[in-house]
Structure 1
Amino acid sequence: MSDPARTPRPPGDPVPDLPLPDLAGFTHRWADADGVRLHAVEGGRPDGPAVVLLAGFPQTWWAWRKVMPDLAGRFRVIAIDLPGQGHSARPDISYDTHTVAAHVHAAVEALGVSAYRLAAHDIGAWVAFSLALKYPGELRGLALLDAGIPGITLPDAIPTDPERAWKTWHFAFHLVPDLPETLLAGREREYVGWFLKAKARSAGTFDDTEIEQYAASLAADGGLRASLAYYRDAAESARKNHEALARQRLSVPVLGISGSHGSVPDMAASVRPWADHATGVVVPDAGHFIPDEQPAAVAAALNGFLTEDD
């Protein structure tokens, strides 16, 4: 990896003041996706089947950095920053997952990909689930990692038991208008640090540099507003999910990946009522941030699942 502070600044970066980390063997690209400029990091086999990776809160594409090299031998690997993440634009749009899914799909098409596999974590999995409902013909496989998807795997109520409430309390906090911005502005590092350390199985999974990198993304150019908007538009995401599911089921094969100490004990069981083909795996010794905590296990699961139909 090169020094992010010394990485040459490409033209057209929507967040030019944010350090841009590199990953050996991968290239930064930007795509105009129906009016929203999205950042992608691409590598692997140019002629291989494409796999698209999406990260969640409070991370960026960098969450997949330990998994991407293990996929690159078989796949064309494309990690995309969602709107509001990393080096993607932070537009004033609806952040319901069907709207965001349309932008992500447009970015993939702009990168010259017509059919692809999709693996996604946390909020990225929210978007991926909706994308699979909107564009089933273009998907060849869908892997969802530890995510409370609105209207699907997200509980209707936040538990009051302290042993469980700490995993989901932030959903309600992020919904409150204006207050999170007031309390978090200038304290992004402390907030991001709590998430990464508390929700990982081992508090040592993330070092100070990674925490600062994610916090800088959240603080830069409307990143906090955009990140909170996913939660504030979650009810609309749930409504659109159920509206789509009234007409169809998920036809694409689904793999649910859970952490042994994550937020959703069995992703596959949670998704199975809406999917024709859903299988699952539980990764041992992992909390919520499974790609960071157990990257080899995640890469092995994806390599097996995403090539089953090849």
Structure 2
Amino acid sequence: MNDPARAPRPSGNPVGDLPLPNLAGFTHRWVDADGVRLHAVEGGQPEGPAVVLLAGFPQTWWAWRKVMPNLADRFHVIAIDLPGQGHSERPDISYDTHTVAAHVQAAVEALGVSTYWLAAHDIGAWVAFSLALKHQSRLRGLALLDAGIPGITLPDAIPTDPERAWKTWHFAFHLVPDLPETLLTGREREYVGWFLKVKTLSSDTFDDAEIEHYAASVAAEGGLRASLAYYRDAAESAQKNHEALRRQRLNLPVLGISSSHGSIPDMAASVRPWADHTTGIVVPNAGHFTPEEQPDAVAAALTDFITEED
């Protein structure tokens, strides 16, 4: 019997055993991003302004599937799976956000994009902030959606008040050596489902198939390790963010997108101490997973941000 782990990966897909969903009008691509193979989904207007989208935990590029068609009429749209996420490679590397950001920037360059707008949610926003610090000249603007960015928008102490602690308790849990792996291996579906059910304003936002999709990505080889590594390397991410900020501030346009029932009440206010040109909006009737809870509002906010700043 052939070993599936050694079977050729179709089209260079490093996670070929994971089901690959398609989105009408968009194409799957894999690129060598400075030694890490990253998955991108590309569509829209090739000659239009480029918009790069990054998702967070416990999701994949699929988190943007309802937003991408709304952007495709005007923009060149690229959603990228981060290292360890979705159909990107799951290497045993540092997952501090500056290291990851270098791979994301390499992927964008490999796709032939020189300058672009960057929009990112959750851990994707952690990476996006660090990428902006290192590659500010490549970005035309930065949109950050409901994210506790290490050293930036993440509180110094995790709240213990039960009314708030449920939003951030997992930061400490993910840091514990070995225990999360022991408790979560084989139960990824239950764990991922908790986040998708509890951290949305409406618990029926995600159906069973969508929960299974995200859980399968975490459960695939290397997925849980990589997911936890982002949190375990968060202190290094915060340190590198502040080292960079001692040399410069962000002076590109920044949009903070909060949600009415999200984790960070005011993204713009949290980012403003580090960025000179920051505006913000609050998306109503949404919890943490704003791109799927209110995709039309997110697409409209991004379109307005890009066209006004452009």
If the length of structure 1 is used for normalisation, what is the TM-score? 0.97
- Deviations, residues 79-112 of structure 1 (Å, cap 9, x unaligned): 0000000000000110000000000000000000
Q: What is the match of residue 239 of structure 1? A: 239
Q: Distance in 1 between matches of 2:268 and 2:187?
A: 36
1:156, distance to aligned residue in structure 2 (A): 1.2
Query: Which residue of structure 2 lines up, in the alignment, with residue 292 of structure 1?
Result: 292
Question: Does structure 1 conserve the Cα–Cα contact (< 8 Å) formed by 2:146 and 2:262?
Answer: yes
Tell me which amino acid in the other structure corresponds to 1:279.
T
- Cα pair 2:11 2:30 within 8 Å, conserved: no
Pairing of 1:34-53 with structure 2 (within 5 A)? 34-53=34-53
Match status 1:168 vs 2:168: yes
Residue type of the alignment partner of 1:245: L
- Cα distance in 1 for partners of 2:309, 2:216 equals 40
Report the equivalent of 2:254. 254
Alignment correspondent of 2:54: 54
In structure 2, the partner of 1:222 is: 222
Q: Which amino acid aligns with 1:162?
A: P
Counterpart check, 1:15 vs 2:28: no
Aligned to 1:29: 29
Offset from partner CA, 1:21-42 (integer Å, 9 cap, x none): 0000000001100000000000
| 1:101-150 Cα deviation digits (max 9, x unpaired) | 00000000000000000000000000000000000000001000000000
Among the aligned pairs, what percent are the same residue? 85
The aligned residue for residue 91 of structure 1 is 91
In structure 1, what is the Cα distance between the partners aligned to 2:227 and 2:259? Answer: 23
CA distance in 1, matches of 2:177, 2:252: 37
Any idea what SS the aligned residue of 2:78 has? strand
SS at match of 1:158: coil
How big is the shift at 1:10? 3.3
- CA distances 1:212-267 after superposition (whole Å, capped 9, x unpaired): 00000000011000010000000000000000000100111000000100000100
Q: CA RMSD in A?
A: 0.7
Residue in structure 1 matched with residue 130 of structure 2 by the alignment: 130
Deviation of 1:160 after TM superposition, in Å, equals 1.1
Contact 2:253 2:309 in 1 (8 A): no
Displacement of 1:158 in angstroms is 1.1
1:5 is matched with none
- For 1:195, the equivalent position in structure 2 comes to 195
CA distance, structure 2, for counterparts of residue 221 and residue 86 of structure 1: 11
Uncovered stretches (5+) of structure 1, i.e. residues with no partner:
1-8
Whole-angstrom distance in 2 between the partners of 1:307 and 1:125: 21
- Quote the Cα distance in structure 2 between the aligned partners of 1:34 and 1:91: 12
